[in-house]
Structure 1
Amino acid sequence: MTTQPLPTYFVSHGGGPWPYMDGEFRRRFDELEGSLVRMRAELDNMPKAVLVVSGHWEKEAFTLSSAARPGMEYDYYGFPPHLYEIAYRSPGSPALAERAAGLLAARGLPTDLDPQRGFDHGTFSIMKPLYPEEDVPLVQVSLHASFDPALHIAAGKALAPLRDEGVLIIGSGLSYHNLQAMQTGAGHEPSRQFDAWLRETVLDTPPHERERRLVQWTGAPSARAVHPREDHLLPLMVVAGAAGTEPASLSYHQSDFFGGLSVSSFRFGEPPLEGNNL
């Protein structure tokens, strides 16, 4: 059994409760689903637990869901009624929530526990394809409401020891998130420009320079056209911080997402040695 730390991942999580749907809308996420299936395969053995930084949760402190049996947060609108009755039933982990909160607090970062918070679609939309058995302990982490990228990188660095403890850290967001422009088609070219910058930053830039570029992300081409609010980009900062100086690779890329958007997901670090047989 290797003692290699688990990699971290930034996942562009798609739209709404897509794994629970069928038909044309569901098919738009086939490539994303394939990347999640590959992700599970390369991780080989099941992680002891999963910590998801969700772009759908903002608090005044880094807050962790601490219920033993979390409920659901139906944080989407306009879908058929049955999609407001679905449930992802993985157990929570109060012990992991307290451990993560302790790591954050030890670095002087504001933190809190929330025993009421359920799984939002930033979490269950990726966990359903990744672990459909719903048996892996799962804890959510909120964003800090300041949206300070350096603070989120610092949070990732604080949480990094969890990688050595069998905890899989995932940042769940979307590398493109401008819903209004998505609906009109105006986002296609800005998404290509920003995605090219993001891939260059994450994949081809030395780690310390990578961190500087991520902190200064608003200077990227079409940055605010792609992220009017950075809630869906900040989970990337956390997992990059947790990865430290480890290199990254592209785990998912689609240039025709919703008719022409460019979106990407990334892995930081290498998968367990037992999983390098793909």
Structure 2
Amino acid sequence: MPRPRAILVVSAHWETPDLRVTANPQPQTWHDFYGFPTALYEVQYPAAGSPELAQRVVDLLAADQLPATLDPERPLDHGAWVPLSLMYPAADIPVVQLSLPSRVGPRLQDRVGKALRQLREEGFLLIGSGSITHNLGELDWRAGPDVVEPWAQAFRDWMVEKLQANDDEALFDYRRRAPSAARNHPSDEHLLPLYFARGAGGVPMHIEHAGFTLGALGMDIYRFG
């Protein structure tokens, strides 16, 4: 994959009633979690922001009748900096975040992704950061790497089947159609970034990594387009 000019991330950890875009030229690293080892809270990801990309995002969304506002104060949440610290550990590529209006559902995220698709042609990387399954209350913290709950595997496999078939109708209605949907996602926010990435990338869908941890937490990575 060529080195991107800058990176746009939709994270499950920035929920808002409307669309907002980070515009801080030097965003802070936000440790927006609790109960983990001290060393994790000492990690910094000092990537610059990109007010230029932020304004481009606002303009492209406005062209599709999707109003968005700039947020000059928002730091990078862990949905952005944790995966980026593995992908680009030098933190030398500017990062912008786009918020997640989670109560609107998958169709909006698909539309947002499509509205921003041309950014890929301009050299920007678009990432949806969430999880294919996400029910922290059902995790087994003693489970080995080969232990997978059947209800989590069934949901993941259904999603992959519909993604590979490009089945919009089923994917947009996943909460009624997918097996154990509410058990895997008690709320939508960790699955919705997938719809943004799919909208932005289009077809085909590629599985870059597949697996589970703690019995029921899906760690899949997908690439679109």
Q: Deviations over 1:78-126 (max 9, x none)?
A: 0133432321011100010010011111111131111111111111110
Higher helix share: 1
Does the aligned pair in 2 maintain the 1:192–1:261 contact within 8 Å? no
Query: Displacement of 1:217 after TM fit?
Result: 1.1
Partner of 1:124: 81
State whether structure 2 residue 200 is matched by structure 1 residue 242.
yes
Q: Measure the CA separation in 2 of the matches of 1:91 and 1:260.
A: 34
Q: Measure the CA separation in 2 of the matches of 1:57 and 1:160.
A: 21
Does the aligned pair in 1 maintain the 2:130–2:194 contact within 8 Å? yes
Residues 21-36 of structure 1: pairs in structure 2 closer than 5 A:
none
Q: Which amino acid aligns with 1:236?
A: L
Does the aligned pair in 2 maintain the 1:61–1:145 contact within 8 Å? no
State whether structure 2 residue 39 is matched by structure 1 residue 87.
no
Q: Which amino acid aligns with 2:188?
A: E
Residues 1-278 of structure 1: pairs in structure 2 closer than 5 A:
43=1, 45-183=2-140, 188-203=149-164, 205=165, 207=166, 210-218=167-175, 219-244=177-202, 246-255=203-212, 257-259=213-215, 261-269=217-225
Q: Which amino acid aligns with 1:190?
A: W
Structure 1 counterpart SS, 2:128: strand
Query: Displacement of 1:262 after TM fit?
Result: 4.5
Q: Measure the CA separation in 2 of the matches of 1:69 and 1:227.
A: 33
Query: Displacement of 1:211 after TM fit?
Result: 2.3
Q: Measure the CA separation in 1 of the matches of 2:216 and 2:41.
A: 29
Q: Which amino acid aligns with 1:122?
A: G
Does the aligned pair in 1 maintain the 2:134–2:218 contact within 8 Å? no
Structure 2 counterpart SS, 1:46: coil
Give TM-score scaled by structure 2 length.
0.92
Q: Measure the CA separation in 2 of the matches of 1:84 and 1:64.
A: 25
Q: Measure the CA separation in 2 of the matches of 1:263 and 1:129.
A: 14
Q: Measure the CA separation in 2 of the matches of 1:147 and 1:131.
A: 32
Q: Which amino acid aligns with 1:228?
A: P
Query: Displacement of 1:72 after TM fit?
Result: 1.9
Q: 1:152 to 1:194 in 2, by over 3 A?
A: same
Structure 1: which 5+ residue stretches go unaligned? 1-42, 270-278
Q: Which amino acid aligns with 2:90?
A: E
Q: 1:253 to 1:108 in 2, by over 3 A?
A: same
Q: What do you get for the CA RMSD once the two structures are aligned? A: 1.8
Q: Measure the CA separation in 1 of the matches of 2:186 and 2:15.
A: 16
Q: Measure the CA separation in 1 of the matches of 2:92 and 2:64.
A: 31
Aligned identity (percent) is 40
Q: Which amino acid aligns with 1:84?
A: Y
Q: Which amino acid aligns with 2:199?
A: G
Give TM-score scaled by structure 1 length.
0.75
Q: 1:261 to 1:119 in 2, by over 3 A?
A: closer
Q: Which amino acid aligns with 1:141?
A: L
Q: 1:214 to 1:86 in 2, by over 3 A?
A: same
